[in-house]
Amino acid sequence: MTAVVKHATRKTLEITNATAEQAQARNSRLREQFPARTAERRWSQTAQSSEETLRRLTAPPFLPAANGTRAGRAVG
């Protein structure tokens, strides 16, 4: 039988008692490691018609099992 681990201990955070300079250096490293995405001028989904949006939102995975829930979403 395999033991199931429900809780795992976390490593102590390095930044808990970090000085402002240490935090700034860490944030700079993170920005280099994970650069921001370029901003899109517009998303193709925002240019869709309301009918196309309704079709997408009433199809899986948004389609609920209960008809009453589906009707409420259509009104909303």
pLDDT digits (tens, 9 = 90+) for 6-57: 766 666 656 567 788 888 999 999 999 999 988 888 888 888 899 998 888 8
Residue 15: DSSP 8-state: T
pTM: 0.34
Domain boundaries, the chain: 48-76
Give the integer Cα–Cα distance in Å for 69 and 61: 14
Exposure class string for 35-51: b at 16+ Cβ within 10 A, else e: eeeeeeeeeeeeeeeee
